[in-house]
């Protein structure tokens, strides 16, 4: 029993306070990044991009600091992932109990190489700032509605909100990434190969949440209600897209 308690204590300590294992630290407003061998100027640009994404999400709280652990060494990341009971293949994960986010630079880079960065604003476009903002989005959500409520949500709600947090500030300033155009990408089979079905699920989830927030003026509390379903929201979003197409065609 004592051995098990000691092992558990070690696991908690490593996950809660991993900063002692990193040689560099960089702070950008609410985000503190711990890293090893990555170039400092690149990390600074990444942290600035994370801040831009978070500030534009509508859920940014400057009084809350987020610790991000950016791993350049995959075996080192794998140790932390296994301690957290997460697959080492994941690009990143967050632990709300500690307010920490852990991201694998090598995994993000591997996904960028695999997908060519397409589609943009997709979970595997290969941008570490995207992954960091996504994981912090999970923390925003659990802080707002509680982890118990979050745990009972369907996956599209769990993942759609963090994707909204990660992307909405950028897509609003990108004329090529309007919601109708991204719905068309979702429905274009050429955009998704057999290995990208999980990516497509995330992409759809973000669009559904964005539609609920920005078109139907829903709140987060509205979205988590059981009455808001994936099928009903998807049908409403596709009907809205058809209406937008008809308006564009008649103008």
pLDDT of residue 26: 95
Assigned domain for 136 exists:
yes
CA angle 226, 205, 195 (to 5 degrees): 135
Instruction: Name the residue among 97, 40, 35 with its Cα closest to residue 71.
Output: 35
CATH (domain of 177)? 1.10.390
Which positions ≥6 away from 137 have C-beta within 8 Å? 57, 59, 161, 162, 163, 164, 165, 166
Contact 80, 15 (CB under 8 A): yes
Structural domains in the chain (count): 1
Strand 66-71, strand 100-104: pairing = parallel
For 32, phi and psi rounded to 5 degrees?
-115, 120
Asked whether residue 185 is assigned to any structural domain, the reply reads yes
Q: Would you say residue 9 lies in a domain?
A: no
Which pLDDT belongs to residue 3? 67
pLDDT at 5: 66
Q: Rounded to two decimals, what is the model's pTM?
A: 0.94
Token reading at 59: 């859920």
Q: What is the C-alpha separation between 165 and 131, in angstroms, rounded?
A: 11
Q: Output the pLDDT for position 184.
A: 96
pLDDT of the chain, 251 residues: tens digit per residue = 666 666 677 788 889 999 999 999 999 888 999 999 878 899 999 999 999 999 999 999 888 889 999 999 999 999 999 999 999 999 999 999 899 999 999 999 999 998 888 899 999 999 999 999 999 999 999 999 999 999 999 999 999 999 999 999 999 999 999 999 999 999 998 888 877 888 999 999 999 999 999 999 999 999 999 999 999 999 999 999 999 999 877 54
160/137 Cα distance (integer angstroms): 10
Tokens 């979050």 -> residue: 150
* 13 domain-assigned: no
The domain of 204 spans 18-250
Would you give the end-to-end CA distance of the chain in angstroms? 73
Neighbours of 227 (CB within 10 A): 6
Question: Other C-beta atoms within 10 Å of 201: how many?
Answer: 14
Q: Distance (Å, rounded) from C-alpha 51 to C-alpha 192?
A: 30
Only one residue has tokens 């009972």, namely 152
Taking the C-alpha atoms of residue 235 and residue 193, their distance in angstroms, rounded to an integer, is 24
What's the half-sphere exposure (Cβ side, CA atoms, 13 Å) at 98? 19
């Amino acid at each position: 029993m004592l051995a098990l308690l000691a092992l558990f204590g070690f696991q908690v300590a490593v996950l809660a306070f991993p900063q002692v294992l990193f040689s560099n630290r960089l702070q950008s407003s609410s985000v503190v990044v711990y890293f090893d061998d990555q170039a400092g100027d690149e990390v600074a640009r990444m942290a600035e991009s994370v801040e831009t994404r978070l500030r534009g999400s509508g859920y940014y709280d400057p009084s809350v600091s987020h610790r991000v652990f950016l791993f350049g060494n995959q075996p080192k990341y794998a140790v932390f992932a296994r301690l957290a009971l997460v697959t080492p293949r994941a690009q990143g994960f967050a632990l709300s109990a500690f307010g920490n986010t852990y991201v694998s630079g090598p995994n993000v880079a591997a996904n960028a190489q695999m997908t060519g960065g397409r589609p943009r604003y997709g979970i595997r476009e290969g941008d570490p700032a995207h992954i960091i903002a996504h994981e912090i989005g999970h923390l925003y959500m659990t802080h707002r509605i509680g982890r118990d409520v979050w745990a009972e949500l369907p996956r599209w709600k769990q993942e759609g909100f963090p994707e909204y947090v990660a992307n909405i500030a950028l897509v609003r300033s990108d004329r090529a990434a309007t919601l109708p155009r991204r719905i068309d990408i979702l429905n274009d089979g050429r955009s998704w190969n057999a290995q990208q079905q999980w990516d497509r699920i995330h992409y759809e989830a973000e669009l559904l949440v964005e539609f609920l927030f920005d078109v139907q003026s829903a709140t987060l509390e509205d979205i988590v209600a059981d009455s808001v379903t994936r099928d009903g929201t998807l049908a409403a979003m596709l009907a809205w897209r058809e209406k937008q197409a008809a308006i564009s065609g008649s103008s």
